[in-house]
Amino acid sequence: MNLKSLAEALGLSQTTVSRALNGYPEVSEATRQRVMEAAQRYSYTPNSRAKGLATGRTMMIGQVIPTTLKHEMVNPVFGDFVAGASQALSEHGYDMVFTRVPDIDESRIYREFNARRVVDGVILQGPAISDTRIPLLNEIGLPFIVHGRSSGVSEPYNWVDVNNRRSFERATQFLIDLGHRRIALLNGLDHMDFAFRRRQGYLDAHADSAIPTDPALMHSEEMTEEYGHRLAVSLLASEDPPTAFLCASMIAALGVRRAIQEAGLRMGPDVSVITHDDDLSYLKNGSDMPIFTATRSSVRQAGELLAESLVQLIKDPSVVPIQKMLEAELVVGSSTGPAPKRT
Amino acid sequence: MNLKSLAEALGLSQTTVSRALNGYPEVSEATRQRVMEAAQRYSYTPNSRAKGLATGRTMMIGQVIPTTLKHEMVNPVFGDFVAGASQALSEHGYDMVFTRVPDIDESRIYREFNARRVVDGVILQGPAISDTRIPLLNEIGLPFIVHGRSSGVSEPYNWVDVNNRRSFERATQFLIDLGHRRIALLNGLDHMDFAFRRRQGYLDAHADSAIPTDPALMHSEEMTEEYGHRLAVSLLASEDPPTAFLCASMIAALGVRRAIQEAGLRMGPDVSVITHDDDLSYLKNGSDMPIFTATRSSVRQAGELLAESLVQLIKDPSVVPIQKMLEAELVVGSSTGPAPKRT
DNA sequence: TTCTTCACTCAAAGCGCTTTGAAATTCGAT
DNA sequence: ATCGAATTTCAAAGCGCTTTGAGTGAAGAA
């Protein structure tokens, strides 16, 4: 059933039917009722491609996933983020489309997105430091919003981000206050902006308390459980082991916990651990008493907020840059304690 | 730049240009070269909506995510699955689109997908027992493939699934052979087909060895870390505690491990644990020596296979039902050992 | 009664592409 | 030269929708 046949069935013109359906004022209430009812009865749904072709709108939001950087997609955090974002998008009638492309092609894809009019806007994930995609998208003129920020990009752009620097500064300060002096940092990949900011926070806290940092304690890699485990094992076995760990993700923290237990130590009394907690639905940090002391910020909520902002942006591209900073809370669990006295 | 202007610039008709671009034989090689080169130079990309409108193809694969059943989306397994599937899809030029809808609307959405010609095919996730979406999609005639199967659906449909019954039967048998008699089953949600099959495997193994099962040991819920923990805590504290746990997911198994350690027991020597391992990239079960003894099957690969099949199906709908069964391997790690002697 | 207005409704022109059916050109064969 | 077949190109008709600009009646004003 298409517009034409519906119009014929009703004995009306396509124009009138279209107008009635889309709520234009030029059609009488009686007619509108009749049309609506018929549309219902014949279960007519407009063809979205035709509609898009005519209106220039697609009601789709794009997300490009570079192929070789497999992390994005498989990262559990991504799932929760998408859940939040698609939730919000769907409320405005938008769907989400994922395109995987080889790394090199990424810029081409954005241009194509624009040329082919395949999406109305784009979400940019995992910004690196001085991310080149931002100037690119600005130049193309495709509405977009970044999940995170990109240090080194001077031009304005829209973003939603967690205050990574502050939250890691607070976490580090918390450990310092407990007497820890050797704090290991298990950070995300070096070139990622969020990792950069977290390291800043870590360094700032040390500087504030005039505590020297040790490069041997600062690491960055893909945040897997294995990585957390491997690194904790080697650090704990080192000459001058850390008394505390600051992790960039729950998953890595699980690995750290495993290493601590294997070493015959207790998490909390013997070795302290703080992790960033994205509040993943499948990996809750305890509902009553948190297992890990953590800087918590729901990535799902970030997704919702971001999607909401993007929709608004598409509706009215003239709004000033949307820039929303979320603060992470520091929740205290049983994984931290005073630094053990040196023997 | 659109077809029309490109054709004008070349002094050719739209037809010829379109044909040249789409590799039709009716155009001379020389002309084709000229057109190709011009398309490149003007960086012309066809508008996909217009193309879709004319051809009836969208190059999009849909996935519907019911809103209230939030699990699908946030389940870490989902991320890896999508990574695999979208990888394969992209190689054939397909993108993936997610639509979130309230539970009740799901059937309406499929009809709309079809009516609005918004996708060329659909992936069905998380089939329940006697899942009604399957007959619905069959009736609509929209090409689809199920990730999993649905017991109780008699009509033919396409699927890719892991042999859940067999893998859990083997795992259970493995525990029985080690002398375990009280094996707890931490299963997924009851109405899910995969959970049903796993329970079957568990029951079959018990029956084969004439070992009675205890309803108090069989549980099903959403597979979170918390659930694994909570349940293991209460089971370990019970009158007649299990000596082994069989978990449907790594995440839940992590919770079980935590509970075991909190109880002052050792995983392996004191309490055995086997889990199903979807081989998630962020939650590897140890690369050299597996932590958990596990039934392993890469959900990422399943995604690839499924996507590949769907593409094939769309290309040629006449192919007999595609039904692919994957076998999980049983990898032995350090989480299992002989049943401890009763004190 | 005639002229304006207003409220509705309509035919037709796009949107950018594919594809059909026909026309023009080339070329070897008669 | 002439013809037919093969090769190459084209104009135009959709695909299903929105939207413009015009048309039709009916109601109200003169």
Give, in degrees to the nearest 5, the angle at Cα A41 between A37 and A47: 95
Residue A72 has pLDDT above 80, yes or no: no
Please tell me the distance from the alpha carbon of residue B317 to that of residue B282, in angstroms, as a whole number: 36
Write out the two tokens for A265: 């130590």
Smallest CA–C1' separation from A55, nucleotide: D18
Please name the amino acid found at residue A226. E
What's the average model confidence in pLDDT over A38-45? 84
Please name the amino acid found at residue B96. M
Question: A322: which DSSP letter?
Answer: P
The band of A67, judged by pLDDT with boundaries at 50, 70 and 90, is low
pLDDT at residue A122 in the model = 94
**Backbone torsion region of residue B67, taken as left when φ is above 0, otherwise alpha when ψ lies between -120 and 50, otherwise beta:** alpha
Q: Which residues contact B55 (CB under 8 A, 6 or more apart)?
A: none
What's the average model confidence in pLDDT over A189-214? 96
Order of strands, sheet of A323-326, starting from the edge strand that comes earlier in the sequence: A323-326, A159-162, A144-147, A121-124, A60-66, A95-101, B95-101, B60-66, B121-124, B144-147, B159-162, B323-326
Domain range annotation of chain A: 3-46, 60-162+300-326, 164-298
pLDDT at residue B87 in the model = 86
Q: Provide, in whole angstroms, the distance separating residue A4's CA from nucleotide C19's C1'.
A: 22
Please tell me the distance from the alpha carbon of residue B296 to that of residue A102, in angstroms, as a whole number: 28
Q: Where are the alpha helices (DSSP H) in A75-224?
A: 76-91, 106-116, 133-140, 164-177, 193-208
Q: Provide, in whole angstroms, the distance separating residue B20's CA from nucleotide D3's C1'.
A: 31
Smallest CA–C1' separation from A54, nucleotide: C15
Residue of A147, A134, A97 whose CA lies nearest to A119? A97
Which of B70, B95, B189 would best serve as a mutation to test chain A binding (most A beta carbons within 10 A)? Answer: B95
Q: Provide, in whole angstroms, the distance separating residue B24's CA from nucleotide D3's C1'.
A: 29
**Contact by Cβ (8 Å): A75, B8:** no
Please tell me the distance from the alpha carbon of residue B343 to that of residue B340, in angstroms, as a whole number: 9
| Low-confidence residues of chain B: pLDDT under 70 | 67-73, 288, 342-343
Alpha carbon B257 to its chain centroid, in Å, reads: 25
Q: What is the DSSP track for A81-109?
A: HHHHHHHHHHHTT-EEEEEEE-GGGHHHH
Bridge partners (DSSP) listed for residue A219: A186
Q: How far is B101 from chain A (nearest CA, A)?
A: 7
* Partner residue facing B112 (CB), from A45, A86, A97: A45
Reduced to 3 states, what is the DSSP secondary structure of residue B327?
coil
A3-46 and A60-162+300-326 share one CATH topology? no
Cβ A281–B101 below 8 Å, yes or no? Answer: no
- Is the dihedral angle over the CA atoms B231, B232, B236, B237 positive or is it negative? negative
Terminal-residue alpha carbon distance, chain B: 82
Please tell me the distance from the alpha carbon of residue B178 to that of residue B336, in angstroms, as a whole number: 9
What are A268-323's pLDDT values in tens digits?
Answer: 999 999 999 999 988 888 776 789 999 999 999 999 999 999 999 998 888 889 99
What are B53-99's pLDDT values in tens digits?
Answer: 888 888 899 998 876 655 555 788 888 898 899 889 988 888 899 88
Q: Provide, in whole angstroms, the distance separating residue B233's CA from nucleotide C2's C1'.
A: 94
If one counts every other C-beta atom within 10 angstroms of the C-beta of residue B329, the result is 11
Reduced to 3 states, what is the DSSP secondary structure of residue A339?
coil
CA atoms within 13 A on the CB side of B270: 12
Alpha carbon A159 to its chain centroid, in Å, reads: 10
Q: Which residues contact B65 (CB under 8 A, 6 or more apart)?
A: A83, A86, B72, B73, B98, B99, B100, B101, B125
- Is the dihedral angle over the CA atoms B39, B40, B46, B47 positive or is it negative? negative
Burial of B326 (0-12, 13-18, 19+ CB in 10 A): middle
pLDDT at residue A1 in the model = 74
Question: A184: which DSSP letter?
Answer: E
> Residue length, chain A?
343
Cβ B79–A79 below 8 Å, yes or no? Answer: yes
Q: How far is B57 from chain A (nearest CA, A)?
A: 10
Please tell me the distance from the alpha carbon of residue A89 to that of residue A123, in angstroms, as a whole number: 12
Q: How far is A162 from chain B (nearest CA, A)?
A: 20
User: A60-162+300-326: what fold?
Assistant: Rossmann fold (3.40.50)
**Tokens 């089971």 belong to residue:** B235
Write out the two tokens for B272: 């055995």
Alpha carbon A339 to its chain centroid, in Å, reads: 34
Q: Which residues of chain B are within 8 Å of residue A112 when distances are taken between CB atoms?
A: 45
Residue A103 has pLDDT above 80, yes or no: no
pLDDT at residue B68 in the model = 61
Write out the two tokens for B271: 């309490």
pLDDT at residue B250 in the model = 93
Please tell me the distance from the alpha carbon of residue B150 to that of residue B196, in angstroms, as a whole number: 10
CB within 7 A of strand D (chain A, 25-84): 44-47, 50-51, 53-55
Listed range (A181-190, A328-337, B221-230) with the worst mean pLDDT: B221-230
Please give the CATH superfamily to which domain B3-46 belongs: lambda repressor-like DNA-binding domains (1.10.260.40)
What's the average model confidence in pLDDT over A238-253? 95
The CATH number of domain B164-298, selected from 3.40.190.10, 2.40.50.140, 3.40.50.2300, 3.40.50.300: 3.40.50.2300
Please tell me the distance from the alpha carbon of residue A121 to that of residue A316, in angstroms, as a whole number: 12
pLDDT at residue B322 in the model = 95
CB-contacted nucleotides of strand C (7 Å): 7-12, 14-21
Terminal-residue alpha carbon distance, chain A: 81
Residue A151 has pLDDT above 70, yes or no: yes
pLDDT at residue B162 in the model = 97
What are A111-148's pLDDT values in tens digits?
Answer: 878 877 789 999 999 999 999 999 999 998 889 999 99
